[in-house]
Chains A and B, each alone.
Chain A
Amino acid sequence: MSKTFKKVILAIIVLMFGAGIGLFVYKSEPKLNKNFETERTFFKNHPFRLGLDLSGGSHLIYKADVSGVPGDQISDSMDALRDVIERRVNLFGVSEPVVQVQGGGFISGGENKLIVDLPGITDVEKATAMIGETPLLEFKIERSKDEPITIKPGKDGKIDAEALNAQQQFVSTELTGRYLQKATLEFDQNTRAPNISLQFDDTGTKLFAEITKNNIGKMVAIYLDGLPISTPVVREVIPNGQAVISGSFIPTEARELVRNLNYGALPLPISLLSKQTIGATLGDNAVVAGVKATIIGFLLVISFLILWYRLPGLVAALSLCIFITIMLSLFKLVPVTLTAAGIAGFIISIGIAVDANVLIFERIKEELCSGRSVTDAISAGFSRAWFSIRDSNISNFITALILFWFGTSLIKGFALTLGMGVLVSMFSAITVTRIFLSLFNFVGDGKVAKFLFSSGITR
């Protein structure tokens, strides 16, 4: 008796667990919960995170030119670039922007990329302008006469005359806008012309001191967005990290420049490689269609299970419900950014999740046919079906894993939901089903029991 009692307790615990996370999913979803506004912040902080193709927005891919950065500093500069652009994007009030660095490994073709996702911004021109406005500040020094000049011909075999010219005069230094602490607008006391005064951070101060020390009597060129705006001659070492740009600015232009420099000067030059915008209505339609497909797919699967496998089918349908609540709460808690492909992965995982149940039930049926009692057949069915379950899940999991490693964000969304589905289903379809099914010992071995545990069109 106590054994049965334990089983009942276990089943109740699993049910409570399922109900608990189901409640969490419900409470944290503004579209389902009417009292969402009054919920605790824990619930409010866990809505589903929708990808750009579902929420609408812009997806931009930039290439960063790292040719001027030593190899071991590339990742640092890329991180600095990301921070600057993130700051910039945040200033414009985009909610939950994602700015990611993609390293230049073998797979991505050696290019260092920056991926910017802007939910809700569907005007690409505005979006790119927002990011492009950030000025690129560089300090260059005169090229020494004996240093050889290397010129790479362009793709068409021609040599860019402009590049040749600029290269001959100045060479890049490590000092860029990355080391800028703050820029301020000043007016020359005599001419009333606007000047921009720069204050470097610690590293920048050291670099600037070194540059000025080595180049006394020579020119140091200050480049803004690839163009020299000021080429002062160094008179003495400047150890305090202060520099003044005295170009021929008009006051409004200078003020804007100071603002942009303070928002963050780009440490690396970037160029736009690809852009994508999805309108909000298109995204909404995709969400509605995705939810509809999920619900209908789920209903089809559970009706098949119950009609074909009867009592065990009902139990499998119950564990499928628990599977779905676990998956949905994981999407919220991890959090997983859901895309149309991700929803597809989730829907497929619903189909795969019951695979294990089908394997187990078919085994149970075989064991019943060979004359075992219902209880024996259930335990034999579970242990014998395990190898088939393991095999069919391994191949799916391998595929999901490889797709996740090598995929772009679109593929990753699919691979992640599918892979999670495979793992969670191993738990729900085996453990949960077993706990519930073991409760049905009492049905005994009568005709009714055999009927309930067989399947298909047999009696």
Chain B
Amino acid sequence: MFIIKHKKIFISFSISLVVLSLLSLLIFGLKVGIDFKGGALTEVVYTTLRPAQADLDTALQSLELGSVLVQPTGNTGYIIKSRDLNDAEHALVLKTLSLGGKNELTETSFNSIGPSVGKELTRKAVIAIILVSLAIVCFIAFAFRKVSRPVSSWRYGFIAIITLLHDVIIPIGLFTILSHFYGAELDTLFVVAILTILGLSVSDTIVIFDRIRENLNNQVNISKSNFSEIVGGSLEQSFVRSICTSLTVILVLLALFTFGPVSTKYFALMLTTGMFFGTYSSIFLASPLLVLVEEWQKR
């Protein structure tokens, strides 16, 4: 099987993608959205032409609301990001945006989140991440509870966790780039996307590993030299299935990304990336790693 033969190329490819993602995370950082840190987001659409951004900037500065960020959206709209606003401040901002009633506008959405709600959401997100990770690790431990040779059970589990990290880090890397260039912000849906990727991609790796162990058991005498052949054979048996199950999910996700609501665009993109690399890693990373570990063991 060529994947096993050229395993070093595939493993290096994955490593470089992960390193790149981590680098972009370090360099660009993640912009935390108002879901978690609190703040207000006002979206307005002007009836005719929108005023120049510079005019709004100066007008809003005079309100002394701290830093106010104005971003154009659509053809005649703006998104205004600021700290959380009370009713009076909100009314004042709307009045300022219309430049004293001169420019007619309608407010399409307004979202103001107090700092305590943001804190609560952060706490919930952290708990959910911890619980899902724990549940997935338990699930892996359960899936590999039977002892097996020549590579011991816990190594399968360990590799499964490494591939999971790989599947999650790459979408995060992509998100930091989106965040840097298109202003995507870390929100609740980001966390949901990460957790869903964990759930979707873990089973793929486990199913392939199961097939490998099934084939190992069928072999009465495992001479250690043909371990890589058995892994290669198992891959050949299961990669079509693996690609097909992911493909159906990726198809619907692409539909969601291309045609779906604006609010779930980045969410769909993150999941698509996660799904894609989840499938990639279960075929091109997990099994090659397994063979690599076995080779190291032999030395």
A binding-site residues for B, Cβ under 8 Å? 53, 61, 63, 107-109, 111, 122, 124-125, 128-129, 272-279, 281-282, 285-286, 289-290, 292-294, 296-298, 300-301, 304-305, 308, 340-341, 343-344, 347-348, 350-352, 354-355, 358-359, 362, 366, 387-388, 391-396, 398-400, 402-403, 406-408, 410-411, 414-415, 418, 456
Contacts and interface: CB of A to CB of B under 8 A. Distances in A.
B256 A297 contact: yes
A69 to B, nearest CB: 19
A366 B90 CA distance: 65
A300 B252 contact: yes
Contacts of B91: 125
B135 interface: yes
Those 10 A-B pairs whose CB atoms lie nearest each other, nearest first: A399-B199, A297-B255, A351-B249, A297-B252, A392-B203, A293-B260, A286-B261, A351-B252, A279-B108, A362-B241
B247 interface: yes
| Chief secondary structure at chain B's binding surface | helix
B64 interface: no
Contacts of B31: none
Interface in B107-146: 107-114, 116-117, 119-121, 123-124, 127-128, 131-132, 135-136, 139, 143
Contacts of A300: 251-252, 254-255
Contacts of A128: 87
A399 B139 contact: no
Contacts, number: 222
B186 interface: no
B202 A395 contact: yes
Question: Size class of B's contact patch?
Answer: 35 or more
Interface string B221-264: 00000000000000001001100110111111111101111111
B20 interface: no
A399 B124 contact: no
A399 B132 contact: yes
Contacts of B249: 348, 351-352, 355
Contacts of A107: 120, 123-124, 127
B120 A347 contact: no
A46 to B, nearest CB: 23
B114 A344 contact: no
30 contacts: A107-B127, A108-B120, A109-B123, A111-B120, A273-B113, A274-B84, A275-B112, A276-B110, A277-B111, A279-B108, A279-B109, A289-B260, A292-B259, A294-B255, A297-B254, A297-B256, A340-B260, A341-B263, A344-B256, A352-B248, A359-B245, A391-B203, A391-B206, A395-B139, A395-B198, A399-B196, A399-B199, A402-B135, A403-B132, A407-B188
Main secondary structure of the interface of A (DSSP, over half): helix
Most B C-beta atoms less than 10 A away, residue of A281, A354, A418: A354
A274 B114 contact: yes
Interface string B193-205: 0011011101110
A393 B121 CA distance: 28
Pick the most buried of B106, B248, B256: most chain A CB atoms within 10 A of its CB: B248
Contacts of A418: 196
A453 to B, nearest CB: 15
A418 B200 CA distance: 12
Contacts of B262: 285-286, 289
Given A300-B251, A300-B255, A358 B207 contact: no
B192 interface: yes
A63 B116 contact: yes
B104 interface: no
Contacts of A414: 189, 192
